[in-house]
Structure 1
């Protein structure tokens, strides 16, 4: 995990087979989220989020053409190869009532260099980042052996756009529209 606080990180793709990039919303939890608390709705979940940031998950796949079964992707470490987290927006003192809608409806513009590659929305990730967080909390509750989400944990909520392939020498950015998050940039080496 790399925190990009004001710098443009250089991420090595060495050893990766078919890397791709996923712009995501990343949540930093300020309080535990037991699954049984879900009756309070998404606002109650949002009140337990300490910060929100844009992030890039770098994913990779060892299976030709990214064709795999669920068991294959588990064996391939969930396709996760790296995570870059942008500047955090602290939620303390923010308008929690409007935050659910902003996180659901804001847009992102994914660019390679100056070229727009894709445009996405918060709702593309399981209906929005708070809904994705609720889904995860409920899933963990159904799995009796699993621990609930705890304060201090970082949760990625799913890609906001299709996943383009990436290559060394490229510079990528994700620009938010309609929410007070900073643009995140990185380059691949």
Structure 2
């Protein structure tokens, strides 16, 4: 690590303030150009600790930057992860307010719910598959507390992997009941197609995104508990959303997930 504890906490506090005020800040890497990925996770964890102390509950994790489309969009070459909290899970059956976001974008994802604890590192794809209860269609609203999305890998990691909110659909499947790698996914905004892909866009298979997470957390001494929701990564590039927009994401045989924003 290159940052002192004091510097790490100061950056984390700046992001917490940006969350609360919805006033974005300059890229952290402009004020801390030597910030490493390890430093950035330290900044993220400073915020996670504060949120837990405030009563928020971790319900899972999101894996970001797993598709070539997203890596190209943000100019990075490796995944990252962020924490999902109970109040980030939104109901798609009613119009969703964007009042709490700064510069929201949306992505279609295949997510997983665990039926048992898993611990890496060294976890195999077979062992992880055995621990998955089901896959579920989902949309992630990403947001950036960094002004104008001018982020490096370290910036987005520090900002809880640019997490915003989660919408989970009714389409679920057991892993042996659907070919997730071949699953066609498309997303429309106000009737216009804005993204298309297949499950394999996520590291070859969406489960690989979850495996990367389990092994990365394991290397940090953390277990993924049963019941966790794991968002495995976006299948298409993210698109901007605004009040009045309607998003419809189709996940092949698993159905669609529609949401309108207010």
TM-score by length of 1: 0.83
| 1:188 aligned residue | 261
3-state SS of paired residue (2:196): strand
Question: Match for 1:2 among 90, 107, 129?
Answer: 90
Query: Which has the bigger relative contact order, CA under 8 A and spacing at least 6?
Result: 1
List 4+ stretches of structure 1 deviating above 6 A: none
Segments of structure 1 that go 5 or more residues without pairing to the other structure are none
Deviation per CA, 1:64-88: give whole Å up to 9, x if none.
3311233432443331111011115
TM-aligned CA deviation for residue 132 of structure 1: 1.0
3-state SS of paired residue (2:243): coil
Question: Match for 1:15 among 89, 95, 100?
Answer: 100
| 2:193 aligned residue | 116
Structure in which a larger fraction of residues adopt strand: 1
Segments of structure 2 that go 5 or more residues without pairing to the other structure are 1-88
Structure in which a larger fraction of residues adopt helix: 2
3-state SS of paired residue (1:45): helix
| 2:234 aligned residue | 159
Question: What RMSD over aligned residues (CA atoms) do the two structures have, in Å?
Answer: 2.0
3-state SS of paired residue (1:87): strand
TM-aligned CA deviation for residue 15 of structure 1: 3.4
| 1:174 aligned residue | 249
Deviation per CA, 1:103-160: give whole Å up to 9, x if none.
11211010112211110111112222111111111112222xx321111111000111
Q: Does residue 77 of structure 2 align to residue 77 of structure 1?
A: no
